[in-house]
Amino acid sequence: MPDAIPSLDARRALDRWTPTRERVKDYFDSTATDTWARLTSDEKVSRIRETVRAGRDRMRALMLSRLPEDLSGCRVLDAGCGVGQMSQALAERGAEVVAVDIAPAILDVAKRRMPEELRDRVTFIAGDLSDDGLGDFDHVVAMDSLIYYEAAEICSTLASLDPRVSGKIVFTVAPSTPMLMMMWGAGRLFPKADRAPVMVPQSPKRLARQLTKAGCVRLLRPVERVNSGFYISHCMEVLP
């Protein structure tokens, strides 16, 4: 296991995480529960949400491709598991999955949807993905659960996970494109009816600097962007 210790700046960033985390929790635990349940089902949705659904499916497949096909014997953290689609895919590969989300209402949907034959491989926990009480892991995946946070907050979280992860940390961020920066600044990333908490665009170079500043000595590597209509996200990985 790496023995890096999060720096003082990293610990301060984790303290700043709380207000943003609470806003995200309130959104997904009340306002958006039904919306996300429909989006991640087979129900008919608006054209905008169809592009988001397709993009999320592509991103999930991309992130899974960064991990071994056979995860038997591996303990994997699904950080910000949502309705459990990634957790199910990881369990199907044989992993012991710890599925964490800050929104209990979303977790209830995930528990109901998990196939009976996979339930003994998945442990659902309502809480903070950076909680060291969750234990050690072979790999971590965090799909679209860090996109609402500043670079310092993201990297302090990665640094806090670092000593407890022997393999990869695969995660996503909102890419720093001119259009996204403009929309982010205007607070109009999505049309009003489809708007979620505001994503914070990130650049790989800035994240790499912040990760080093946070005390993590691992290599941060950009993987690939997925762009599908109103869904755009950048897959990245922290290598062991």
Residue 2 near residue 218, CB atoms below 8 Å: yes
Q: What percentage of the chain has pLDDT greater than the value 70? A: 82
Q: Which residues contact 34 (CB under 8 A, 6 or more apart)?
A: none
Q: What percent of the chain has pLDDT over 90?
A: 65
pLDDT digits (tens, 9 = 90+) for 119-129: 999 999 999 89
Q: What is the structure's pLDDT at 232?
A: 92
pLDDT (tens digit per residue) in 8-51: 444 444 455 567 777 777 777 777 677 778 888 888 888 888 99
Average of pLDDT values for 94-110? 95
Q: Which residue has the higher pLDDT, 118 or 48?
A: 118
CA-CA distance, 238 to 113, in Å (whole number)? Answer: 30
Report the candidate in 106, 41, 59, 63 with the shortest Cα–Cα distance to residue 231.
59
Whether the per-residue pLDDT at 197 is higher than 90: the answer is no
CA-to-CA distance for 106 and 205, rounded, in angstroms?
Answer: 33
Q: For residues 159 and 66, what is the distance between their CA atoms, to the nearest angstrom?
A: 20
Helices first, then strands: H and E counts in the chain = 8, 8
Say yes or no to pLDDT of 193 above 50. Answer: no
The pLDDT, as a whole number, for residue 178 is 57
Asked if the model's pLDDT at residue 82 lies above 50, the reply is yes
At 145-180, the pLDDT tens digits run 999 999 999 999 999 999 999 999 999 999 986 565
Residue that the structure tokens 């695969």 belong to:
170
The fourth-level CATH superfamily of domain 8-239 is Vaccinia Virus protein VP39 (3.40.50.150)
Residue 190 has pLDDT above 80, yes or no: no
